[in-house]
Amino acid sequence: MSILVIAEHENGSLKGATLNTVAAAQQIGGDIDLLVAGSGCGAVAEEAAKVNGVAKVLLADADCYNHQLAENMAQLVAELASGYSHILAAATTTGKNFMPRVAAVLDVAQISDIVAVESADTFKRPIYAGNAIATVQSSDSVKVVTVRSTGFEPVDTDGSASVETLSAVHDAGVSSFVKEELAKSDRPELTSAGVIISGGRGMGNGENFAMLERVADKLGAAVGASRAAVDAGFVPNDMQVGQTGKIVAPDLYIAVGISGAIQHLAGMKDSKFIVAINKDEEAPIFQVADYGLVADLFDVIPELEQKL
């Protein structure tokens, strides 16, 4: 068996989710090749070559792979697919975008967002917003799989694979990149942070998130938000934790002024420790919290900042 993992990268560096995806590939077992596709991504390939457990890095460097447009990526990956039994990518917005397209080109089903590998053809994945876990077995010749990064421990980066440059250039010519507006943040990325402090509707307004940021700075934490806080316009939507936002599993998740709707819990209930700070003692968040504090967040958060 051999497995093709598609590397997630941006701005010239490999993203952490790739390391979790390789970990899932190792559990399946077999030779693992890592595909780095992009434009001007030679440095990423060098970085990818250090990922443990990778036999070979394939580098597809061409303008048409810039921003990994689904139409072009799908053609590239489908062409490479014949040599592999499994194709894996991280279940990020990039992976979710092009992988089903790859699967359809290959006429196989895709298995989305796996959280565990049972065997080479059997995987576990959450359904119904994480309220049930399905074990599914694939009968397809090629398994196209996206991997939930919080389900797997990342592999180390002290390996030394060889890099092979691909000459393939696939430009479907039906889509083009216009612009991007990326949210700027000096704090750790939500999906890889060890500690996350999130605010909900109870924060009252966007300015009050500064209180959470000050606590986050003391903890080296990322700041997240519930969908209610995003919909109310308090913070941008890339901070959203939940079924329709980011799925996180940090060591410590502090939910402040968040009631704990199913949608939100689906995004954070695999955190190691959950702390809930809410003045409503009936809030469902207390049912999943390891430590709960029933109090007004406007009293508690400044005190917490002071005592850390």
Of 276-295, which residues contact other proteins (CB under 8 A)? 286-294
Spatial CA neighbour of 243 closest among 270, 268, 275, 273: 268
Binding mask 59-88 for other proteins (x = CB under 8 A): --------x-xxx--x--------------
| Distance separating alpha carbons of residues 89 and 35, to the nearest angstrom | 10
Tell whether residue 228 is a contact of other proteins (CB under 8 A). Answer: no
Round to whole Å and give the CA distance between 11 and 23. 23
Contacts of 167 (CB under 8 A, 6+ apart): none
The phi, psi pair for 297, rounded to 5°, reads: -60, -25
Find the shortest distance in angstroms from Cβ 159 to other proteins: 26
Beta carbons of 247 and 227 less than 8 angstroms apart? no
> Residue 110: CB partners within 8 Å, gap ≥ 6?
99, 100, 102, 103, 144, 145, 146
Minimum gap (Å) between residue 162 Cβ and other proteins = 30
Nearer to other proteins, 43 or 172 (CB): 172
Residue 75 CB, nearest approach to other proteins (Å): 10
**Binding other proteins by CB under 8 A: which of 27, 42, 52, 105?**
105
Round to whole Å and give the CA distance between 87 and 226.
Answer: 33
Residue from 93, 156, 164, 205 binding other proteins (CB under 8 A): 93
Among 153, 158, 178, 282, binds other proteins (CB under 8 A): 178
The only residue of 16, 100, 154, 204 in contact with other proteins, by rule CB under 8 A: 100
How many residues form the binding site for other proteins (CB under 8 A)? Answer: 89
Q: Which two tokens stand for residue 35?
A: 């595909």
Minimum CB distance to other proteins, residue 164 (Å): 26
* Interaction of residue 168 with other proteins, rule CB under 8 A: no
Nearer to other proteins, 157 or 244 (CB): 244
The residue from 5, 28, 88, 103 that contacts other proteins (CB under 8 A) is 103
The nearest distance, CB 247 to other proteins, in angstroms, is: 11
The interface mask with other proteins, positions 110-149, x = CB under 8 A, is xxxx--------x--xxxxxxxxxxxxxxxx---------
Provide, rounded to whole angstroms, the least separation between the CB of residue 140 and other proteins: 5
Complete DSSP assignment for 3-46: EEEEPPEETTEE-THHHHHHHHHHHH-SEEEEEEEESS-HHHHH
Binders in 248-267 for other proteins, by CB under 8 A:
251-252, 262-263
177: exposed, middle or buried (Cβ count in 10 Å: 0-12, 13-18, 19+): exposed
Nearer to other proteins, 174 or 210 (CB): 174
The radius of gyration of the chain from alpha carbons, rounded to an integer in Å, stands at: 21
| Residue 232 engages other proteins in binding (rule: CB under 8 A) | no
The values of phi and psi at residue 226, to 5°, are -85, 165
Least CB distance from residue 133 to other proteins, whole Å? Answer: 5
Give the span between the Cα atoms of 103 and 113, in whole angstroms.
14
Residue 165 as a binder of other proteins (CB under 8 A): the answer is no
Task: Judge contact between 54 and 24, C-beta under 8 A.
Answer: no
Distance CA 213, CA 69 (A): 34
